[in-house]
Amino acid sequence: MEYFPPALETLIEQFARLPGVGKKSAQRLAFFVLGLPDDDAQAFSDAILDAKKSISLCPVCCSFTEGEGLCPICASSKRDDATVCVVADPKDVAALERSREYIGRYHVLHGVISPMNHVGPDDLHIKELVERVATGNIAEVIMATNPTTEGEATAMYLSRLLKPFNVKVTRLAYGVPVGGQLEFADDATLTRALEGRREM
């Protein structure tokens, strides 16, 4: 037996399909939406369709962009064309931008190579990266995939792929995170931090 009216059950099911949202959370979210003023519920509903309709991938870096144009970063004339930072996900662009350190361009793969999850090189935006490196005036490609096994493997694969183009390929530094505590750092991180030590 259903305890809630069909329209409510449908809304709960829709929320339950979202990643990381279980049945209980979906109920809570659906009840919250029911309690919203009409305008707010309409705005939520519209935001889904608007984003879906107007967001596409930037033709240059494959990050999200509005409509058919370049993304804000590719469109900016203030960025350094000679450096491209390769990330797995659009949210990694946001993370790097927050550091306010990087002034080059980006390239978003939309995933990493993962045989376990049936993701191969052809499922990622690697072709677009190779084209950029082949035709553009790029001096350095920074591999900024996650420091996980799959992120490593993807960076390694790309660095081999880009070798023929005579471009400098670098990898983000490994080491102890700033503000962290040595006693909680894992062995692999400490090993990398020692290997990468620099004169003060």
Q: Is 59 in the site for a copy of itself (CB under 8 A)?
A: no
Q: Shortest gap between Cβ of 56 and a copy of itself (angstroms)?
A: 9
Q: Is 5 in the site for a copy of itself (CB under 8 A)?
A: yes
By CB atoms closer than 10 A (0-12, 13-18, 19+), residue 65 is: buried
- Sequence-distant (6+) residues with CB within 8 A of 81 are 104, 105, 136, 137, 138
DSSP helix/strand/coil, 81: strand
Q: Is 38 in the site for a copy of itself (CB under 8 A)?
A: yes
Stretch that binds a copy of itself, among 27-35, 124-132, 156-164, 170-178 (CB under 8 A): 27-35
Q: Shortest gap between Cβ of 86 and a copy of itself (angstroms)?
A: 16
Which of 49, 116, 178, 200 is in the footprint of a copy of itself by CB under 8 A? 49
Q: Which tokens sit at 66?
A: 């509005």
Q: Is 93 in the site for a copy of itself (CB under 8 A)?
A: yes
Q: Shortest gap between Cβ of 186 and a copy of itself (angstroms)?
A: 23
Q: Mark out the alpha helices in 19-170 (DSSP H runs).
A: 23-35, 38-54, 72-75, 90-98, 126-135, 149-162
d(CA 58, CA 56): 7
Which of 16, 33, 130, 139 is in the footprint of a copy of itself by CB under 8 A? 33
CA-wise closest residue to 171 among 133, 144, 146: 144
Binding site for a copy of itself (CB under 8 A): 1-8, 10-11, 13-14, 17-21, 25, 27-34, 36, 38, 41-55, 64-66, 71-73, 89-91, 93-94, 97
